[in-house]
């Protein structure tokens, strides 16, 4: 999924990372208990977004092809994830791992 932020920065988000980081209360509670939120034995493959809608001016509600759709991803959180990923990528380019 690609999001273009107001400053023009376009970011491709990994669907699995987004699904595993679902911010809904149920998924947060399961993660707090070290339980798997996804996939389940009945989870459809491949993972897809079946619908997306703006939630006010602050977030994006995603509905997944497994029917889950209660998580609202705040734009500030999505931007923070994008910035952190960019910083890790830049650090890896500057100091690539050595091969022995």
Q: Whole-angstrom Cα distance, residue 2 to residue 80?
A: 15
Domain 2-40+47-94 falls in which CATH fold?
NE0471 N-terminal domain-like (3.30.2020)
Name the residue with higher pLDDT: 28 or 87. Answer: 28
Domain boundaries, the chain: 2-40+47-94
pLDDT digits (tens, 9 = 90+) for 25-74: 999 999 999 999 888 888 899 999 999 999 999 999 999 999 999 999 99
pLDDT of residue 67: 92
Q: Supply the pTM of this predicted model.
A: 0.80
Count of Cβ atoms closer than 10 Å to residue 19 Cβ = 22
pLDDT at 93 over 80: no
pLDDT the model gives residue 94: 62
Q: How many CA atoms lie within 13 A of 56 on its CB side?
A: 6
Residue 96 has pLDDT above 60, yes or no: no
């Amino acid at each position: 999924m690609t999001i273009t932020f107001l400053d023009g920065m376009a970011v491709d988000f990994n669907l699995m990372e987004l699904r595993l980081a679902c911010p809904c209360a149920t998924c947060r509670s399961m993660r707090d208990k070290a339980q798997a939120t996804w996939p389940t034995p009945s989870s459809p493959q491949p993972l897809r977004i079946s619908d997306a809608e703006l939630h006010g001016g602050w977030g994006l509600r995603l509905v997944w092809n497994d029917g889950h759709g209660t998580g609202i991803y705040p734009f500030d959180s999505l931007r923070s994830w994008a910035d952190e990923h960019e910083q890790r990528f830049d650090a890896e380019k500057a100091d690539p791992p050595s091969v022995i």
